[in-house]
Amino acid sequence: MSFRYLRRYTGPIQAVIFDWSGTLVDYGSRAPVEGFVRLLERQGISATVEEARRPMGSHKRDHLETMLAMESIARQWNALNGGPPTLADVDRLYAEYIDLQSELVRHYGTLIPGVIETAEPLGARENLVGSTTGYARRIMNNLLPIAEDQGFHPVSVVCADEVPDARPAPWMAITSAMHMGVYPMCSCVKVGDTPYDIESGLNAGMWTVGVALTGNEMGLSEEEVARLSDEELDIRLLRANRKLLQAGAHFVIDDLEELDDVLDEIEERLHDGGQP
């Protein structure tokens, strides 16, 4: 007779780890897009918003390299410079991006509606609030005080330049959990607005929640969303939902105001022995 014993965590959620741009601040995740478009404009290269959004969620240096390899951008670069960008070119451009983005985030630091109303009840649930970001620490040093002045105080903030590999690797999410002293990883929920956010949470062994309306996959400001017809809004939301679900999200919500119900469902699943 042979047996296999399975060890299952059946306790509550211990921590919720949020992305920043498009999830907590910067409705529509516009600051990173503007930063990359402006950066390449300075090099005499025209990049579209769609091109700038495509690698969103990754380390911003990786994001830059991905854009430089895109067909249209690579063609323009080669025509201007006589060949592909060198490592020295990437280093120079990334340093320039850090300077540019550090200033831009000051103008995109408004909390997305519902963030404070979501974060405060998490404390009542005894859930710690962590966060991860594709921004470098120098950029976050400008953004974090703006969020704190509005009442948002995460326990942990982990930046892309503080781990060996950023998203979709799990290290930022795991480091955030480590900073908060939380384990196992299945007691954590990763919340973000890009496929990279979802993949990093899955790779960390966490529950994942995609945010569709306010993030990169919609890519619209709050004012632009308000001007959409009901039909246009439904079409765009369906597309954003599909992309996040295809990345493996366990749940997709429009905005953070819907998160509490999702956390209740996750806790029910954990109590019954469910795993991410």
Compute the radius of gyration of the chain from its Cα atoms. Answer: 19
Residue 90: other Cβ atoms inside 10 A: 14
On whether the CB atoms of residues 182 and 127 are closer than 8 A, the answer is no
User: Active-site positions?
Assistant: 19, 60
Q: How far apart are CA 186 and CA 270, in angstroms?
A: 8
Token code pair at residue 25: 């601040």
Task: State the residue for tokens 């529509």.
Answer: 28
Query: Which CB contacts under 8 angstroms, 24+ apart, belong to 223-232?
Result: 224/28, 225/28
Q: How far apart are CA 199 and CA 214, in angstroms?
A: 19
Task: State the residue for tokens 């690579």.
Answer: 74
User: Which helix H or strand E contains 70, and what residues bound it?
Assistant: none
Please state the φ and ψ torsions of residue 209, each to the nearest 5 degrees. Answer: -130, 120
149, burial (CB in 10 Å: exposed 0-12, middle 13-18, buried 19+): exposed
Q: How far apart are CA 239 and CA 220, in angstroms?
A: 14
On whether the CB atoms of residues 61 and 94 are closer than 8 A, the answer is yes
Q: Residue length, the chain? A: 276
DSSP state of 129: E
